[in-house]
Structure 1
């Protein structure tokens, strides 16, 4: 997986941390997407691809959803594991 400075944790009802996080690496050319609070989408600054809050493509050149990674919460610590979660919630 490319180097990145941030992954996006998902907070579910409860509140509870989901068992997956969203990698910010655009599936078009590998640029780092950012969350746009006003548009309620992840947006790629390189070619304008947009993804919804679960990382699914909603507009642009990207053809695949943002990658997911596994989140493990153990002993009050959050660990990100560089592999797909067992179940893709999308």
Structure 2
């Protein structure tokens, strides 16, 4: 087998800001979820809600690769892959 294209950087990133009250969520390796340490909201690996009180998924932000640099741009990507 020949691999011609290696891993690529996604065109989006998941913002770690909880949509409930703006706390910073952390990735829990054991639960395989993002978890809000303050109010218990949980999100899956794509940022979708799996446990409230949050009512909205984690926001996505745009990733731009330019001149061998990775930049995060605070705007929604053109396509939401979820």
Structure 2: unaligned runs, 5 residues or longer: 1-5
The answer to which structure, 1 or 2, has the higher relative contact order (CA under 8 A, 6+ apart) is 2
Moved over 6 A (4+): none
Question: For structure 1, which runs of at least 5 residues remain unmatched after alignment?
Answer: 1-13
Q: Which residue is equivalent to 2:35?
A: 43
User: What secondary structure sits across from 1:63 in the alignment?
Assistant: coil
Quote the RMSD (CA, aligned, Å). Answer: 1.3
Cα distance per residue 1:15-63 (max 9 Å; x no partner): 1110000100000010000000111000000110000000000012011
Larger relative strand fraction: 1
Q: TM-score, normalised by structure 2?
A: 0.90
TM-score scaled by structure 1?
Answer: 0.82
How many pairs were matched up? Answer: 78
Of structures 1 and 2, the larger Rg is shown by 2
